[in-house]
Amino acid sequence: MKIPASILHDLKGIAGFDEQDFIAAHNAKPPVSVRKHPIKGVNLFHSEQTVPWCPGGVYLPERPVFTLDPSFHAGAYYVQEASSMFLHHLLKDVIAERKNLRVLDLCAAPGGKSTLIASMLDEESLLISNEVIRPRAAILEENISRWGYMNTWVTGNDPRDLGKLSGYFDIIVVDAPCSGSGLWRKDAAALNEWSEGNVTMCSARQQRILADVWPALKENGILVYATCSYSPIENEAVLDWLAANYEVKSITSNTEQFPGIVASISPQKKMNCYRFFPGKVAGEGFFIATLQKNEQSETLRISKTKSARNQKTQDAASYLTDCKETIFLQTKEDSYSAIRASHEADMQLLQKAVYIRKTGLEAGVPTAKEWLPAHDIALSIEISKTITGVETTREQALHFLKREDMRIDNLAKGWYVVRYNGLGLGWIKALGNRVNNYLPKNWRIRMDIE
């Protein structure tokens, strides 16, 4: 791999940068890592080497074909490069100290950071996982459904729209679109597309994104800024720009226990930040910093009016464990979503300002005869233990995931969750003479499974 001379030049003098090491690492194989779902993934990957800064993070000895693993489709783990899992270390103290949080993951697709954050929050907190680029938002939605948390919602907005939610968020994560040099080792196309001009353009866009969303952060709220770029003008310089234009306090984190992670500091405003260089850590290039907003924000008043309840949703309630705290609201033409009752006011507020793509768990559609359960429920950690399921072999599970007809003998008529190692993959309906596969079309595996 031929590293552009200009980036080697820009990195000279940056804490922790060692040119020889850097070049050698870019010619080595990248490690493969996944992060286990804290509930669904407990039985997986016990003998693997762990990622030291993130519980559930493990390195795999080689890259399996994830598409052919039903546990992957069940959301038992998320494939994520290890450096970016450091977000867990930075957020854990912030989250432990504050309860009932409203968190925004502003640039969220495909969902690596959002699934990590979702697993850290208590159920009273709410995560808004946002992605402005439409096709990417669809992938995000799928990954959020797979992860299965009712308190993760998906929006599809420009940062400026979210900025209208003055003082609403306790934490905002901006994993900014960037020139992508940190991913060269994993993705050769990122190297071919890289140019100095693009780095400059990204830096300006990063500042614009931060300026646009800044009003939505509460006073004393936490901003996490991250990129997968090595370029100082997308990293330290952006922090310096933030500190020059807003009242902020830099936040440090103890990284002594993680040799290889480089604690750095921005040249002008002395903002703390963390750099990840392949060769120094088992992970890809990454940059991350945390700071606190030290200025007043106008705060939106949240006034709650009760949304219209519908008797039909009583049938849906039996699908979920904690239906006492859950309400069902009509969110699309004929379908209903389940949210925690304590998030009803949030929904009303957000609905006015932003485009909500997914409000809690999609619960299904009532018909004259029955409740048609939504795919989300089958994947959710909230699904009631009393829902009957059919345990499948790996081969049966893959046929289900290809959306093929299933042959299961002696199945009484009704709805069943298809399970693999106890984890839900989707719904089938037994009709007596045949079994219908209710996997959504766009979730179908397109790969040859033989």
Cβ proximity to ligand SAM, 136 vs 402, nearer residue: 136
The alpha carbons of the chain give a radius of gyration, in whole angstroms, of: 23
Q: Looking at 110, 360, 364, 389, which residue binds ligand SAM (CB under 6 A)? A: 110
Told to check if 183 binds ligand SAM by CB under 6 A, we report no
Could you please report the per-residue DSSP string of 291-315? Answer: EEE-S----------PPPP-GGGHH
Cβ proximity to ligand SAM, 176 vs 398, nearer residue: 176
Q: Looking at 41, 75, 159, 232, which residue binds ligand SAM (CB under 6 A)? A: 159
Cβ proximity to ligand SAM, 152 vs 392, nearer residue: 152
Smallest gap from residue 95 Cβ to ligand SAM (A):
17
Tokens of 415: 């709805």
CA 19 to chain centre: 33
Told to check if 160 binds ligand SAM by CB under 6 A, we report no
* CA dist 191 → 4, 6, 181, 312 (Å): 9, 13, 7, 54
Q: Looking at 113, 293, 357, 399, which residue binds ligand SAM (CB under 6 A)? A: 113
* CA dist 332 → 180, 329, 338, 365 (Å): 37, 9, 12, 10
Which of these segments, 56-64, 106-114, 148-156, 432-440, binds ligand SAM (CB under 6 A)? 106-114
**Catalytic residue check, 107:** no
# of chain residues touching ligand SAM (CB under 6 A): 17
Looking at residues 392 to 431 of the shown chain, list those that interact with ligand SAM (rule: CB under 6 A).
none
Smallest gap from residue 133 Cβ to ligand SAM (A):
4
Residues 330-363 as b/e (b if ≥16 CB within 10 A, e otherwise) read: bbeeeebbbbbeebbebbebbeebbebbbbbbbb
* The one catalytic residue among 54, 107, 202, 228: 228
Residues 435-450 as b/e (b if ≥16 CB within 10 A, e otherwise) read: bebbbeeebebeeeee
Smallest gap from residue 200 Cβ to ligand SAM (A):
16
**Number of neighbouring beta carbons within 10 Å of residue 317:** 17
Pattern 45-84, binding to ligand SAM, x per CB under 6 A? ----------------------------------------
Told to check if 111 binds ligand SAM by CB under 6 A, we report yes
C-alpha–C-alpha distance, residues 170 and 149, integer Å: 19
Which of these segments, 41-49, 103-111, 352-360, 427-435, binds ligand SAM (CB under 6 A)? 103-111
Cβ proximity to ligand SAM, 34 vs 109, nearer residue: 109
Smallest gap from residue 33 Cβ to ligand SAM (A):
13
| Residue 386 neighbours by CB under 8 Å, 6+ apart | 318
C-alpha–C-alpha distance, residues 343 and 35, integer Å: 28
Cβ proximity to ligand SAM, 146 vs 399, nearer residue: 146
Cβ proximity to ligand SAM, 107 vs 329, nearer residue: 107
CA 311 to chain centre: 33
Q: Looking at 54, 90, 95, 108, which residue binds ligand SAM (CB under 6 A)? A: 108
**Cis-peptide, bond into residue 4, ω within 30° of zero:** no
Told to check if 132 binds ligand SAM by CB under 6 A, we report yes
Told to check if 358 binds ligand SAM by CB under 6 A, we report no
Smallest gap from residue 26 Cβ to ligand SAM (A):
20
Told to check if 201 binds ligand SAM by CB under 6 A, we report no
Question: Any idea how long the chain is?
Answer: 450
Told to check if 175 binds ligand SAM by CB under 6 A, we report yes
For residue 351, which amino acid is it?
Q
Smallest gap from residue 235 Cβ to ligand SAM (A):
13
**Number of neighbouring beta carbons within 10 Å of residue 31:** 21
Told to check if 182 binds ligand SAM by CB under 6 A, we report no
C-alpha–C-alpha distance, residues 340 and 236, integer Å: 39
Q: Looking at 131, 170, 234, 284, which residue binds ligand SAM (CB under 6 A)? A: 131
Told to check if 136 binds ligand SAM by CB under 6 A, we report yes
Determine contact, residues 322/382, Cβ cutoff 8 Å: yes
Smallest gap from residue 209 Cβ to ligand SAM (A):
5
144 - beta bridge partners?
Answer: none
Task: Provide the binding-site residues for ligand SAM, judged by CB under 6 A.
Answer: 107-113, 131-133, 136, 159, 175, 177, 205, 209, 228
Catalytic positions, please?
A: 228
